[in-house]
Amino acid sequence: MKIAMIGSGYVGLVSGACFADFGHNVVCIDKDATKISNLDNNIMPIYEPGLADLVKRNVDARRLAFSTNLPESVRDCDAIFIAVGTPSRRGDGHADLSYVYAATEEIANSISKPTVVVTKSTVPVGTGDEVEIILGKHQPRELFSVVSNPEFLREGAAISDFKRPDRIVIGTEDEWAKNVMSEIYRPLFLNQSPILFTGRRTAELTKYAANAFLATKITFINEIADLCEKVGADVQEVSRGIGLDNRIGSKFLHAGPGYGGSCFPKDTLALMKTAQDNDSPVRIVEAVVQINDQRKRAMGRKVIHALDGDARGKRVALLGLTFKPNTDDMRDAPSIAIAQTLIDAGAEVTAYDPEGMEIAKELMPSVQMADSSYSAADDTDAIVIVTEWDAFRALDLAKLAEVMKGNVLVDLRNIYNPTEVTQAGLMYTSIGRNR
């Protein structure tokens, strides 16, 4: 089938490349001419393992192309996916749908044959209705059908998630649109990936509900970790103890410095606002948002406590800046608040991250970037593991102790054994383990 993907960012590029790999003919569209030029030269706008190879393979096979010309690119398509950004709107936290509606207006003026228009962007309940209204102002109803098809991709594992999904949610009650979407996803259906056909509004809410629930699991175990430290319990064993219950499951029960990234922060806010607007507040989600925001700076204070309560004049190294490993995404990363808390307390902060430092330089101008873990740790009073990159899982602890001025290691991801750290001559602080 011929598919257009409007938006060549994280969701659009990964989805477009994967659809092309299934054998469809795909064009990814973006207004950013520099981004499109770079993609034509196989320069990716994001870091995602395996993406550059996937894109090159399908470009070489002439199944994947890039363009800035939306009207020309969508004219003969069977399906047009809207995969533009929906960031939190300044001032009120609602999802900013201006990019979605602008893309819809362009689509409305460009299609000339029956076309399925699919919202792949994460959008509040009722957005599909508005997209339908905009299209209907320009085109007869028989020329289009609007579908919701939310994405469930994890940064760092997006290609695998797309090709081996837990489920595919498709919101439409139009039989023709169902048939088109079934054909698009046929390779996954043959692999017995569950496809859930449901109402459009239900599909839209499913995405927000899923992210809010996962954010709640993270926040829950973080609060349990704090309690573990007070009562002398081990949060990792608590996590295992409750995660073995099939009703709960083990995923997203790893204590840490709080969630960040492109999805959870903005999606929990958007769900809150939708619920409030409909006089049905989601109190649990409201608490999750508040607790997570507070936790990030609390982790900075945890580092200060490990420095005997005084960071003034101290030098602290952060290992890991991105909100999670295997991405360069710095959006709402805990490292930003942690670094600022330390700087506000009078500390000098250095940092190293395998992929995120170029973006981090703009967000954290007062932080000195290093070229390795050990150079970041040089002459420091404390090292803080913020992101659990594989590169930080087997550090030479004795070498760290040699290059440091002090001996404090704060492990905000619990990736080290406390005994091994203390044997290397370091003072160890972790999350929820009373160490």
Tell me: pLDDT of 106 over 80.
Answer: yes
CA distance 54 to 160: 12
pLDDT value of position 435: 66
In tens, the pLDDT along 215-272 reads 999 999 999 999 999 999 999 999 999 999 999 999 999 999 999 998 999 999 999 9
pLDDT band at 349 (very low <50, low <70, confident <90, very high): very high
pLDDT category at 83 given cuts 50, 70, 90 is very high
Residue range 2-197 in CATH 3.40.50.720: yes
| Neighbouring residues of 37: CB distance < 8 A, sequence distance ≥ 6 | none
3-state secondary structure of 355: coil
- DSSP per position, 150-194: ---PPTTSHHHHHHS-S-EEEE---HHHHHHHHHHTHHHHHTT--
* pLDDT for the residue 90: 80
Average pLDDT over residues 144-173: 96
Per-residue pLDDT band for 190 (boundaries 50, 70, 90) equals confident
The percent of residues above 70 in pLDDT, for the chain, comes to 100
Common-topology check for domains 2-197 and 290-429: yes
Class of domain 290-429: alpha beta
Give the H/E segment covering residue 29. Answer: strand 25-29
Tokens representing 331 are 């959006």
Token pair 């101008």: residue? 365
Q: What is the pLDDT of residue 189?
A: 78
Among the listed residues 18, 77, 228, 263, the single catalytic one is: 263
CB atoms within 10 A of CB 108: 18
Q: Mean pLDDT over residues 301-313, rounded?
A: 97
- 149-158 pLDDT per residue, tens: 999 999 999 9
263 noted as active-site residue: yes
Length of the chain: 435
Output the average pLDDT for the chain.
Answer: 96
57-77: per-residue pLDDT in tens? 999 999 999 999 999 999 999
Rg (CA), the chain: 23
Domain 208-284, second-level architecture = Orthogonal Bundle (1.10)
Q: What proportions of the chain, in percent to the nearest 5, are helix, strand and coil?
A: 45, 15, 40
Domain boundary assignment for the chain:
2-197, 208-284, 290-429
Please say if the pLDDT value at position 89 is more than 90.
no
Q: Which of 309, 291, 313, 290 is nearest to 300 (CA)?
A: 309
Residue 92 has a pLDDT of 81
Residue 191 has pLDDT above 90, yes or no: no
C-beta of residue 143 within 8 angstroms of C-beta of residue 132: no
